[in-house]
Structure 1
Amino acid sequence: MLTLCATQFAGFLKTRASLSPGSGGNLGLMDIILALHWVRDNIASFGGDSKRITVVGHDTGAALANLVLISKSGKGTVDGLVQRAVLLSGSALSPWALIPDPDTVRLEVSQQMACHLVPGHNNRKPTTDDITDCLRDKPIEALMGVRLTNVRFMPSWGPFLPLEDSLDPEFAMEHSGEGFITSELMLGMTTTESYNDFSASDIQYGLEEDQRNRLLRTYIRNAFTFHLNEIFSAVRNEYTDWDKPIQHPINIRDSTMEALSDGHTVAPSIKVAYLHARRGAKTYMFHFGYQSKESEYPQRLGSVRGEELPYIFGLPLVQGLPAFPQNYSRQDMGVNEAVLNFVTNFCKTGDPNEAGQQQIPLLHPDYGTAKERTRFRLITWETYETTTQQYLSICKCFLSLCLSAMLFNFSTEKGPL
């Protein structure tokens, strides 16, 4: 049995200037850590084990879970808050995980909320005053109505640096981060993580080369600081099929989706797995490439960001919920049983293959043939190692253990290595 808890958290708005003691803000991360303290102290009353706490996050939730692991307030030691983490379609190294300029956000909020700041030196950007008290006097509807400058591919709200005394999550994972290396880690991703970055017209008709170039340049300009032209040239070269002198718009669309998926989600996740495994920590990685025949997304594109979530929560085994009105097939149920057993075993023991674990009880035990139901039990999910980079592939061919040839250099803040 697993005991599940969902946490709610406040925002991340920076309320004080950089030059003042502390910076305010990042309260959402503090809320999560406080909730984990509550779980540790009280979960036994609900049938849980305070020594086996796993944080699971998807998208921005995965980035926050990753930040919890490197937070000194969330050390994942035996006597700490977290022992394991599951990061789905995101990490703290994704370019969208942190906002680069929280002072600009603070300024925009203060102006729209009439929380006047003391001008900085030579009338530059304000550097003093805490807007917390002013904001507390405003109705929540007014705060929710604030409109921030939108930077494509980047978040308007979110955590910001420094986090405690760490200026760089990658440095914390590579050199310190006790909670990071003492926690067992599972990372998962889909095939097309960038699907929602494209318009319906782009998806239906594809992209011309000039559209592709503008899209990639916009992403690179907003995600990186230096060597922008060099990064663009490297990405275009890597994600162009040079064997075809004339590129079809659909093929250009597919390669652009792959480039953006790798850039903002896949490559950063692989980098996290690499840093975690390199320090000797137990690491598992999987690619969820499976699509139901009833999927609302084009089969050509492969699995889309979020398509793994029904299988994480077991919806095919209960024939969906109102928010997921899908008629799942017997094969969908077989895949779901496999995914659930791997994930629950990992949450319980830190090993998705743990022998002797009770299998997930099914509401529809006659969903498939014996072959479908037992095939996944023949798979041994090996740990991710820096040399072999093995990961589990969950796809139409059901399950297989693959050797990774994926790169993570594209995701680094300084650009390709």
Structure 2
Amino acid sequence: MSGSALASWALVNDANDVALQVAQAADCVHLVGDRSDSETILNCLRDAPLERIEQAAAKVGRPGSFRRFRTIFGPSIDGVVIRGQHLSSGSSSSGSGGPRKRSEDGRPTYDCLFGVSGFESSYQLSELASEQGLDGVERDLLLRAFVADTYRFHQTEIFLTLVNEYTDWERTVQHPISIRESTVEALSDGQFVAPAILLGDTLTSPDKNSYFYVIDPAIIQGARRYKDTSVGDAVGFLYMTSFMTQSYWASHERVRASICMPYKIEEKRSKTNKLMKDMDY
């Protein structure tokens, strides 16, 4: 829900480059003539005071090197803790390349519940854009930044494809509000929807139950569709936090949450019974 480990923003794919930038900012690279001497650089970083590392990280995170749609510091595929098999190419049961299914590796599979809600990327908009919409130039800047941060090759082709696919060509005039809608939809599909579906396809198995939900953003956000929203609103809706934070949720949203409650209770009950049975209680 509202994210996936396969999303481009969930992992640092260029961790070595970022680490080298931090080492340079922390004055650790000049200690050796050959930058390939990673052991010396790592020892220097380990011995450096925390304040020095924080200052170096702040330099790397400046706007000049800031990536809007990527994570500079976070989990990375280091080959030890995260081995990266889930990203290895291989033929899945669907016939498309991508992460291998857990069942293909002989690992245990479980019932899977996953889902998405639209307009998850509305937080990328400024307050002015949220209220008045976007023009074509602003849309292009957002989509180009997303493509540049997500893909290394064929960036121009991918950008043009996004513009073509997420433009309502039946409209003779592109209104700023409609451009805003299509832009947020494109970003949400790339940042949240596609990775979640890919992860669900990776975890599902023919002999296990799989549940996929799609929540209409109008149900969750209502009048807050582009204002005062945050990633994960769907999670709060599904797990009934609307009853605990009533000042944030409207009355009709709490009514919809109460309708979903019996299904969530039954889901928890069935999972608990199955777990106790598997443990021979």
Same fold (TM over 0.5): yes
- CA deviations on 1:278-337 (whole Å, 9 max, x unpaired) are 6544221222332366x64448x9x7532224334433323x2xxx743652x4333333
Structure 2 unaligned blocks of 5 or more:
89-97, 275-281
How many residues align? The count is 252
The answer for the alignment partner of 2:21 in structure 1 is 108
What letter corresponds to residue 143 of structure 1 in structure 2? I
Distance 1:139 1:313, change over 3 A: farther
The answer for the alignment partner of 1:31 in structure 2 is none
Q: Does 1:287 align with 2:214?
A: yes
The answer for the alignment partner of 2:66 in structure 1 is 150
What letter corresponds to residue 196 of structure 1 in structure 2? Y
The answer for the alignment partner of 2:256 in structure 1 is 335
Structure 1 unaligned blocks of 5 or more:
1-87, 355-417
Distance 1:193 1:249, change over 3 A: same
* 3-state SS, counterpart of residue 204 of structure 2: helix
Distance 1:177 1:131, change over 3 A: farther
Distance 1:292 1:240, change over 3 A: closer
Structure with the higher fraction of residues in helix conformation: 2
The answer for the alignment partner of 1:90 in structure 2 is 3
> Which residue, 12, 19, 32 being the options, matches 1:99?
12
What letter corresponds to residue 171 of structure 1 in structure 2? P
> Which residue, 159, 165, 176 being the options, matches 1:249?
176
Compute the TM-score of the two structures, normalised by the length of structure 2. 0.75
Aligned ranges for residues 142-221 of structure 1 at < 5 Å?
A: 142-145=52-55, 146-147=57-58, 148=60, 149-161=65-77, 162=79, 163-164=82-83, 166=85, 168=87, 170-173=98-101, 176=104, 178-179=106-107, 182-221=109-148
Contact 1:191/1:305 (8 A) holds in 2: no
What letter corresponds to residue 305 of structure 1 in structure 2? V
Aligned ranges for residues 7-406 of structure 1 at < 5 Å?
A: 88-116=1-29, 118-120=32-34, 125-129=35-39, 131-145=41-55, 146-147=57-58, 148=60, 149-161=65-77, 162=79, 163-164=82-83, 166=85, 168=87, 170-173=98-101, 176=104, 178-179=106-107, 182-277=109-204, 279-289=206-216, 290-291=219-220, 296-298=224-226, 305-318=231-244, 320=245, 325-326=247-248, 328-329=250-251, 331-343=252-264, 345-350=266-271
Greater relative contact order structure (CA < 8 Å, 6+ sep): 2
What is the distance in 2 between the residues matched to 1:345 and 1:107?
51
Distance 1:139 1:296, change over 3 A: farther
Percent identity, aligned pairs only, is 28
Compute the TM-score of the two structures, normalised by the length of structure 1. 0.53
Q: What RMSD over aligned residues (CA atoms) do the two structures have, in Å? A: 3.2
